[in-house]
């Protein structure tokens, strides 16, 4: 039993000031996140405990803001999550590697030569300018990904950019950004991709994937693939909408809304639906897992969800404080759908009004015009046919 | 001037009911739909959603009943007559409709002085009414695709992916409602602009005398006021 097994992990935990109780509680929350019962807690604890010899991992940065790196790396005190992530032997990471230049690239090269590593990819795949929108160590970003992807056991695409291009692929998308999975599919590379959208990625999800894929062996067994939806997102993280798990949902059902910021309604913590919350159409478990080491998350802290876990999230979500997205109308520019509907309806009302005037002037309002004797078409044919 | 007679045979009682149910459902759906889109007053969301989810089933069942009844109920074959035939005949192309599309367009645009001969429904009228069937089904499909209990079903999720996500699906659903509003405005206008006899018949089932027509669309009597 893991409790009695004083393996390397417990020394590590002790060194970082984390009690065994905290550790097991954390394993319990991972079990819940993965949709496993409490009986899996010892198994997860044991897996973490014995997981010292892990597959090496490489973290590549594509076209993005490095926010996902920030999200994962920004921890002021070590906690259990960082210890789990420490179990990933990240041998190369452009932004955080100690090694620089040729040495760092050589380390990555050494990993790529041994098939079976985990490739973590952050940022979009920028295809524009013949791939020259992103260059690393004298190569294009595309060449680097082409080189790194085929030998990987699995690719974890972290953040919306790596999933489908994220904010980088928003209109007009000059860099022709796309996600890792669609890019690899276009190249015929079949390495399995686990997609973890949102901007940035939530470290808790990476922990869950590390435990699930590496420690519980769901990659070898193929079980992980059954847990992914059509877009390669783990269903246990991205299977339900924010709206359905939102702590403000009661206010929504009651019809208590924040009409604008800085009001009493906002102070009362009412629903943010009217100020553009995209929770009803965004599939992530943010309300359950929360962010910043489970402190809070966007809606809890008073900001409407901007739908960063959606596909093409900027184009379908902006303007973020409106209920509807904008429609990019040619020669008009970005327009709200309601405005278009109003203009069309106004034109129709005007048309009917003018028509009614015409009906009045032509005296048709009282019963319509007299009926024709025969169809105009038949009349014409008869005249043509000899004026019968 | 020349208003056709409006007899009960044109709208048998069951269609008076289905028309009422359609009207009430559409008003309830449009109102609650607008509210769900943007809750313009407080404390009503639960009721608005309840209304929307109730009347969406009512209107679908009503559409089904209306279509089935068309195959079993007899209704007048043309304006100003008590002669009846199975109602579905009125929805298929009829002899009296042939070659009349241009005539109707010209009449509506004041380019033709006399009233075109029509069957029970004119060409444009018939097309507009029939189009409400796929339009209702499209509203239902797009509505279910953004309705939590159904939106994850493959049949709806595939459509949502195809249009580029739920935001786009919502906007399509929203625009379908506007098409219905425009249809209703034009429908109510054209039905009543030459006299309110059609409304008296479809709502109150009250007859009104007027011109009577033979099978070729010729006036055979009656007075058009």
Domain carrying residue A106: 54-237
Chain A hits for B153, CB-CB cut-off 8 Å, are none
Handedness of CA A133, A134, A135, A139 (dihedral sign): negative
**pLDDT on residue B203:** 96
* Contact status of A135 with chain B (Cβ, < 8 Å): no
**pLDDT at position A342:** 96
Q: Is the peptide bond before A172 cis (omega within 30 degrees of 0)?
A: yes
A136 and A232, same domain (yes or no): yes
Distance, CA of A202 to CA of A212 (rounded, Å): 16
pLDDT of B113 above 60: yes
Average pLDDT over residues A36-63: 76
Q: How far is A369 from chain B (nearest CA, A)?
A: 5
**DSSP letters along A240-272, please?**
SBTGGG-TTHHHHHHT-B--STTSHHHHTT-B-
Nearest-by-CA chain B residue for A378: B99
CA-based nearest residue to A321, from A309, A310, A335, A306: A306
Q: Are residues A267 and A207 in the same domain?
A: no
pLDDT in tens, B156-180: 999 999 999 999 999 999 999 999 9
Task: Please state, in angstroms and rounded to a whole number, the distance separating the CA atoms of residues B166 and A280.
Answer: 9
* B166 contact residues in A (CB cutoff 8 A): 280-281
Chain B interface mutation, best of A375, A377, A380, A381, highest count of B Cβ atoms under 10 Å: A375
Asked if residue A57 has pLDDT above 80, the reply is yes
Of B42, B186, B225, the CB nearest to A257: B42
Q: What span, in angstroms and rounded, lies between the C-alpha atoms of A378 and A356?
A: 30
Strands B84-86 and B74-76: antiparallel
Residues A87 and A214 in one domain: yes
User: Does B154 lie at the interface with A, CB-CB under 8 angstroms?
Assistant: no
Contact B165 A312 (CB under 8 A): yes
| CB contacts, 8 Å: A312 with chain B | 164-165
My answer on whether A282 and A370 are in the same domain is no
Q: Which spans in A53-100 are helix H?
A: 67-73, 80-86
Q: Is residue A182 part of a domain?
A: yes
* Interface check A370 vs B, CB under 8 A: yes
Q: Which residue has the higher pLDDT, A97 or B67?
A: B67
Confidence of residue A80 (pLDDT cuts 50, 70, 90): low
* Residues of chain A positioned with their CB less than 8 A from the CB of B44: 255
Please check whether residues A71 and A210 belong to one and the same domain. Answer: yes
Q: What share of chain B is helix, strand, coil (3-state, %, to 5)?
A: 65, 5, 30
Cβ atoms B78, A285 nearer than 8 A: no
pLDDT of residue A2: 41
* Amino acid B3: pLDDT: 83
Average of per-residue pLDDT across A63-76: 81
Ordered by start, the domain boundaries in chain B are 69-221
CB pair distance less than 8 Å for B115 and A362: no
- Highest mean pLDDT, choosing among A88-97, A275-284, B211-220: A275-284
pLDDT at A76 over 70: no
Question: Does A219 lie in the same domain as A142?
Answer: yes
Mean pLDDT value across residues B6-17:
95
* Distance between B46 CA and the closest CA of chain A, angstroms: 5
CA distance to A151, B28, B51, B94, B177, per residue, from B54 (Å): 55, 10, 5, 37, 17
Question: Is there a contact between B168 and A316 if contact means CB atoms under 8 Å apart?
Answer: yes
Q: Which of B117, B161, B178 sits opposite A371 (nearest CB)?
A: B117
**CATH code at position A275:** 4.10.480.10
In the block, residue with structure tokens 């608005």? B48
From chain B residues 54-93, the ones with a CB under 8 A of any chain A CB are none
A315 and A249 share one domain: yes
Say yes or no to pLDDT of A75 above 70: no
Dist. CA B120–CA B97, nearest whole Å: 9
Q: Considering A204, A222, A237, which residue would you say is the last residue of a domain?
A: A237
Q: Determine the distance in angstroms separating the CA of A370 from the nearest CA of chain B, rounded to an integer.
A: 5
- The pLDDT assigned to B224 comes to 62
Does residue A16 lie within any of the structural domains?
no
Higher local confidence (pLDDT), A117 or A12? A117
- Tell me, yes or no, whether A8 lies in a domain: no
**pLDDT, tens digit, 9 for 90 and up, residues A124-161:** 999 999 999 999 888 999 999 999 999 998 999 999 99
Task: Express the helix, strand and coil content of chain A in percent, nearest 5 each.
Answer: 45, 15, 40
Report the CATH number that the domain containing residue A225 is assigned in CATH.
3.40.50.700
CA distance A222 to A218: 6
B114 pLDDT higher than 50: yes
Query: Smallest Cα–Cα separation from A170: which of A257, A64, A18?
Result: A64
| Closest-approach residue (CA) in chain B for A337 | B171
**Higher per-residue confidence, A253 vs B2:** A253
Q: If you average pLDDT over residues B143-150, what whole number do you get?
A: 95
Q: What is the mean pLDDT of residues B113-128?
A: 89
Which chain B residues have a beta carbon less than 8 Å from that of A230? 161
Domain boundary pick from A174, A202, A237: A237
Residues A290, A223: one domain? Answer: no
Reported for A182-185, long-range contacts at CB under 8 A and 24+ positions apart, including other chains, are: A183/A125, A183/A127, A183/A142, A183/A145, A184/A145, A184/A149, A184/A155
| Count of domains forming chain A | 3
Give the SS3 label for residue B167.
Answer: helix
Name the percent of chain B lying above pLDDT 70: 98
Q: What are the chain B neighbours of A345 within 8 Å (beta carbons)?
A: 178, 181-182
Whole-number average pLDDT of chain A? 86
Between these two residues, B47 and A1, which has the higher pLDDT value? B47
CB contact at 8 A, A206 and A156: yes
Residue A48 belongs to a domain = no
Rounded Cα gap, residues B97 and B208, in angstroms = 24
Residue A7: predicted pLDDT = 60
Q: Which of A281, A362, A372 sits opposite B167 (nearest CB)?
A: A281
Predicted local confidence at residue A176, as pLDDT: 95
Kindly state whether residues A94 and A216 are assigned to the same domain: yes
User: Lowest-confidence range among A215-229, A257-271, B159-173?
Assistant: A215-229
Shortest distance between the Cα of A257 and any Cα of chain B, in A, equals 7
Name A160's Cβ contacts closer than 8 Å, sequence gap at least 6.
A166, A167, A197, A198, A199, A308, A309, A310, A313
B131-146: pLDDT as tens digits: 999 999 999 999 999 9
Retrieve residue B50's tokens: 């309840």
What dihedral angle (degrees, nearest 10) is formed by the CA atoms of A280, A283, A285, A286?
A: -60
Q: Which residue among B112, B165, B174 places its CB closest to the CB of A316? A: B165
| pLDDT on residue B32 | 97
Closest CA to B21 of B58, B74, B65, B47: B58
Do both A62 and A99 map to the same domain?
A: yes
Residue listed under structure tokens 């905290």:
A22
| Interface check B210 vs A, CB under 8 A | yes
Quick check: A4 pLDDT over 60? Answer: no
Q: Is the pLDDT of residue A106 over 80?
A: yes
Q: Which residue has the higher pLDDT, B130 or A17?
A: B130
- The neighbour count for residue B84, using CB atoms within 10 Å, is 16
What is chain B's mean pLDDT, rounded? 93
C-beta atoms of A337 and B166 within 8 A? no
- pLDDT for res B115: 87
Per-residue model confidence (pLDDT) at position A78: 54
Give the pLDDT band of residue A1 (cuts 50, 70, 90). Answer: very low
CA–CA distance, A173 with A285 (Å, rounded to integer): 29
**Sequence-ordered list of residues with C-beta below 8 angstroms from that of A36, at least 6 positions apart, any chain:** A44
Among the three residues A237, A256, A276, which one is the final residue of a domain in this structure?
A237
**pLDDT of B199 higher than 70:** yes
Residues A67 and A216 in one domain: yes
Instruction: Measure in Å the smallest separation between the Cα of B63 and chain A Cα atoms.
Output: 26
Examine the domain organization and report whether A225 and A119 are in the same domain.
yes
Mark yes or no for CB contact B1/A348 under 8 Å.
no
pLDDT for A77: 53
- Tell me what the mean pLDDT of segment A74-102 comes to: 71
- For residue A388, pLDDT over 50 is answered with no
Q: What average pLDDT does range A253-267 have in this prediction?
A: 95
A355: which chain B residues are within 8 Å (Cβ-Cβ)?
108, 189, 193
Distance separating alpha carbons of residues A180 and A231, to the nearest angstrom: 11
Residue A165 Cα to chain centre, angstroms? 10
């Amino acid at each position: 039993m893991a409790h009695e097994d004083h393996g390397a992990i417990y020394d590590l935990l002790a060194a970082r000031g984390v009690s065994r109780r905290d550790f097991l509680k954390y394993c319990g929350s991972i079990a819940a996140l993965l949709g496993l019962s409490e009986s899996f807690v010892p198994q997860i604890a044991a897996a973490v405990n014995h997981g010292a010899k892990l597959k090496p991992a490489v973290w590549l940065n594509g076209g993005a803001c490095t926010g996902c790196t920030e999200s994962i790396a920004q921890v002021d005190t070590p906690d259990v999550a960082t210890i789990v992530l420490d179990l990933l032997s990240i041998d190369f990471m452009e932004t955080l590697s100690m090694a620089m230049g040729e040495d760092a690239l050589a380390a990555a090269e050494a990993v790529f030569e041994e098939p079976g590593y985990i490739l973590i990819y952050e940022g979009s795949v920028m295809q524009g300018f013949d791939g020259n929108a992103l260059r690393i160590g004298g190569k294009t970003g595309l060449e680097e990904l082409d080189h790194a992807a085929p030998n990987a056991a699995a690719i974890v695409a972290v953040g919306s950019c790596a999933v489908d291009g994220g904010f980088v692929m928003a209109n007009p998308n000059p860099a022709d950004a796309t996600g890792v999975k669609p890019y690899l599919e276009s190249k015929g590379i079949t390495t399995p991709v686990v997609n973890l959208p949102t901007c940035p990625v939530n470290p808790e999800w990476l922990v869950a994937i590390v435990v699930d894929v590496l420690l519980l062996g769901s990659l070898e067994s193929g079980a992980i693939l059954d847990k992914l939806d059509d877009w390669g997102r783990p269903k246990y993280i991205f299977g339900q909408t924010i709206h359905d798990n939102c702590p403000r949902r009661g206010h929504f059902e009651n019809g208590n809304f924040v009409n604008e910021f800085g009001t009493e309604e906002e102070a009362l913590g009412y629903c943010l639906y009217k100020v553009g919350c995209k929770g009803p159409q965004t599939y992530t478990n943010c309300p359950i897992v929360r962010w910043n080491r489970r402190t809070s998350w966007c809606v809890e802290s008073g900001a409407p969800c901007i739908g960063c876990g959606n596909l093409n999230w900027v184009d379908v979500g902006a303007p973020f404080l409106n209920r509807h997205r904008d429609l990019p109308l040619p020669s008009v520019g970005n327009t709200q759908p309601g405005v278009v509907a109003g203009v069309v309806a106004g034109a129709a009302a005007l048309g009917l009004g003018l028509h009614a005037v015409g009906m009045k002037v032509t005296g048709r309002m009282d019963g319509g015009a007299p009926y024709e004797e025969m169809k105009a078409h038949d009349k014409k044919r008869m005249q043509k046919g000899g004026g019968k | 001037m020349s208003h056709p007679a409006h007899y009960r045979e044109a709208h048998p009682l069951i269609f008076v009911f289905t028309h009422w149910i359609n009207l009430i459902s559409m008003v309830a759906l449009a109102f609650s739909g607008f509210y769900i889109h943007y809750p313009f007053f407080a404390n009503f969301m639960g009721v608005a959603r309840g209304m929307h989810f109730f009347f969406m089933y009512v209107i679908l069942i009503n559409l089904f009943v209306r279509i089935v009844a068309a195959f079993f109920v007899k209704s007048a074959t043309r304006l100003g007559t008590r002669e009846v035939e199975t109602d579905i005949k009125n929805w298929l192309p009829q002899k009296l409709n042939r070659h009349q599309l241009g005539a109707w367009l010209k009449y509506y645009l004041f380019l033709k002085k006399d009233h075109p001969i029509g069957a029970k429904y004119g060409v444009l009228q018939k097309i507009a009414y029939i189009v409400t069937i796929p339009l209702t089904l499209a509203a239902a499909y797009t509505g279910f695709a953004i309705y939590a209990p159904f939106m994850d079903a493959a049949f709806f999720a595939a459509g949502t992916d195809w249009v580029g996500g739920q935001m786009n699906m919502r906007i399509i659903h929203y625009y379908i409602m506007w098409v219905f509003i425009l249809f209703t405005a034009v429908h109510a206008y054209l039905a009543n602009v030459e006299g309110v006899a059609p409304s008296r018949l479809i709502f109150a089932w009250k007859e009104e005398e007027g011109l009577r027509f033979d099978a070729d669309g010729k006036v055979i009597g009656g007075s058009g006021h």
